[in-house]
Structure formats: C-alpha cells, structure tokens
Amino acid sequence: MSKYVFDASRIDTSPGNLLSPFSPPADWEGGDLQYIQWLRKRYRVDPNLKQRLGIALRAVRLRRPLEISGNYSTVLLEIIETYGQKRR
C-alpha cells in the first residue's frame, strides 16, 4: 500500500509502522515523555506528520470518528485534544 493512500480516521502509534508518521522506529523503547519529544522533533521536519495531525485535529473538532491505536495512543489523543492550548 502506498503511504499516500490512507484511512485518515485510523492512526497507529506502534513502533515500526512505516506507513504511520506517528509511529516511532521499530527499535523504539522510550516512554510517554520521550515519545512527545520525538513527535515534536518529527513535527518540525516531516510535512506528512503535520498534515496528518491537522486532519486528526479537524476530525476531533468536528466530532468525527478517530481511531488511535498502539503504544502511545493515549498520549497522542491528549496531544490532539489539547493542541493549541497554552501550557501551564
């Protein structure tokens, strides 16, 4: 399957999924905080991740179905739900 054809309502955060921009490398062993740091670095350099994050943000704001799976699904959902809010 091409990385340009995807179901935008499904996001996988499992390490090693080459088709998901939210998936860290296969040998990844970091925790939630390390995942957030990795995601921030990737966001700065990966236009595919920026686009997919934008799609996910819009889906949540429009209350459309969004299925997030994998090791960091809870962390990513929190990021999506709080995106753009000021940090405390």
Listed by start position, the domains of the chain span: 30-88
For CA atoms 81, 83, 86, 88, give the dihedral sign.
positive
Nearest to 65 by CA among 12, 26, 7, 17: 7
pLDDT at res. 4: 65
14 pLDDT higher than 90: yes
CB atoms within 10 A of CB 51: 12
Cα dihedral 42, 43, 44, 46, rounded to 10, equals 70
DSSP 8-state symbol, 8:
T
The pTM assigned to this predicted structure is 0.85
pLDDT at res. 11: 95
